[in-house]
């Protein structure tokens, strides 16, 4: 009985939480929302397909390198890692649907990692020559299974001066096993998103869910991926170790990819929605602000550590942060208010 009462209460709470966008499901505007969701689904599917293709290329290149190691092949492997990692960054904002199954997002990118669990897991797996089977990778936890583990193997300075550095045989086996897991995970994610089309397009609540996902992606970019390493949060000290992808020096290139992904896979349908809600000026302001953010690149396609260490260079990082903050304010505040969207708990908060 207690469980039944709790279930009824939950249903009532959910029904009361539905925003005006979701509540309009039976109206002409609600029917129009289906068109937005169809476009979002199609656009995001392009991103997932790109992720699957680049991840497969990474797997193939890792196998090629480990069969015949050379400096050139290692360079190509690092490039393949970056291409696949940036493809993930472009769709990283999607925090609902198939990516939630089996902690797929965490499998692809375990971050933040304040306890340096990736390095500890690598040390554990490489301390002996036990077989690195797909089953072992699947059972070893999300810190082992994604881009940060491959990044550690390819880029970590301390590790790459050890006797376990590539092309050590067991390390090569770990790299191949991890990149195979990334490729399988990405392929299955793209397939499942494609299969998700009718459910997604037919459920009015996914309009709000998609917008909230973009809002959360901007907030994480602003607060965690920029403000935290810049020393604008927490203890006030600049630290590149608070950034993601610091080992490869690609934190800012990844930030650019995330903004570009939002512009390509979220903004087109969102702009249409705002125009149809009689907010053309706001839609134009948001489009222009996306361009303002991206105008900071390619100048900022450099390791964040260099910008944090020099006050003159730091100013360019501040400029990016201001532009991101303004973009987040337009989407997360102005647009959310106009559309009647109430921001709630973000599952990626970790609290």
Q: What is the pLDDT of residues 229-269, one digit of tens each?
A: 999 998 899 999 999 999 999 999 999 999 999 999 999 99
**Rounded Cα distance, 65 and 45, in Å:** 30
pLDDT band at 344 (very low <50, low <70, confident <90, very high): low
Helix, strand, coil percentages for the chain (3-state, nearest 5): 75, 0, 25
Per DSSP, the three-state class of 245 is: coil
Instruction: Note whether 144 and 178 are within 8 A (CB).
Output: yes
Q: Closest Cα to residue 255, out of 212, 310, 317?
A: 317
pLDDT value of position 9: 40
Cα(347)–Cα(336) distance, integer angstroms: 19
**In this structure, what are the phi and psi dihedrals at residue 208, rounded to the nearest 5 degrees?**
-60, -45
- 348 vs 258: CA distance, rounded Å: 16
Res. 17 pLDDT band, cuts 50 70 90: very low
pTM to 2 decimal places: 0.90
Residue 16: in which H helix or E strand, if any?
Answer: helix 2-17
Do residues 193 and 199 lie in contact, with contact meaning Cβ atoms separated by under 8 Å?
A: no
Phi, psi of 300 (to 5 degrees): -90, 10
Predicted confidence band of residue 349 (pLDDT cuts 50, 70, 90): very low
pLDDT tens, residue by residue, 141-196: 999 999 999 999 999 999 999 999 999 999 999 999 999 999 999 999 999 999 99
| pLDDT score for 351 | 33
Q: Which residue reads 């900022």 in tokens?
A: 300
Confidence bin at 273 (pLDDT 50/70/90): very high
Mean pLDDT throughout 315-342? 97
Q: Where are the domains of the chain?
A: 48-196, 206-351
Distance separating alpha carbons of residues 237 and 303, to the nearest angstrom: 18
> What pLDDT does residue 99 have?
98
Determine what percent of the chain is predicted with pLDDT higher than 70. Answer: 89
Region 310-319: mean pLDDT is 97
Neighbours of 204 (CB within 10 A): 22
Residue carrying the six token digits 């903050």 = 325
d(CA 76, CA 60): 11
CATH superfamily of 48-196: M75 peptidase, HXXE motif (1.20.1420.20)
pLDDT of residue 44: 98
CA–CA gap between residue 103 and residue 142 (Å, rounded): 8
Tell me: cis bond preceding 112? Omega within 30 of 0 counts: yes
């Amino acid at each position: 009985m207690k469980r039944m009462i709790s279930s009824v209460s939950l249903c009532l709470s959910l029904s009361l939480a539905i925003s005006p966008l979701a509540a309009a499901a039976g109206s002409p505007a609600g029917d129009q929302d289906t068109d937005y969701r169809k476009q979002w689904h199609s656009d995001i599917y392009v991103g997932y397909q790109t992720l699957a293709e680049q991840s497969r290329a990474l797997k193939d290149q890792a196998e090629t390198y480990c069969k015949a190691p050379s400096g050139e092949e290692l360079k190509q492997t690092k490039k393949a890692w970056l291409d696949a990692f940036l493809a993930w960054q472009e769709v990283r904002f999607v925090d609902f649907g198939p990516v939630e199954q089996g902690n797929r997002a965490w499998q692809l990118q375990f971050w933040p990692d304040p306890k340096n669990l990736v390095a500890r897991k690598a040390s554990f797996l490489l301390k002996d020559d036990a077989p690195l089977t797909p089953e072992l990778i699947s059972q070893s936890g999300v810190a082992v299974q994604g881009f940060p583990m491959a990044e550690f193997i390819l880029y970590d300075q301390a590790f790459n001066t050890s006797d376990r550095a590539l092309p050590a045989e067991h390390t090569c086996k770990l790299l191949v096993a991890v990149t195979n897991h990334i490729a399988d995970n990405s392929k299955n994610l793209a397939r499942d998103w494609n299969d998700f089309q009718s459910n997604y397009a037919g459920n009015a609540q996914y309009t709000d869910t998609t917008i909230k996902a973009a809002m959360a992606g901007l907030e994480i970019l602003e607060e965690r991926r920029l403000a935290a390493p810049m020393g604008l949060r927490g203890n006030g000290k600049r630290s590149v170790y608070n950034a993601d992808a610091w080992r490869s020096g690609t934190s800012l290139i990844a930030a650019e990819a995330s903004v570009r992904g939002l512009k390509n896979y979220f903004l087109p349908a969102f702009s249409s929605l705002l125009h149809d809600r009689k907010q053309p000026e706001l839609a134009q302001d948001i489009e222009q602000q996306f361009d303002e953010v991206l105008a900071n690149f390619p100048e900022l396609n450099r390791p964040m550590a260099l910008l944090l260490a020099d006050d003159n260079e730091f100013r360019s990082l501040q400029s990016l942060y201001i532009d991101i903050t303004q973009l987040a304010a337009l989407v997360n505040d102005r647009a959310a208010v106009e559309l009647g969207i109430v921001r709630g708990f973000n599952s990626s908060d970790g609290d």
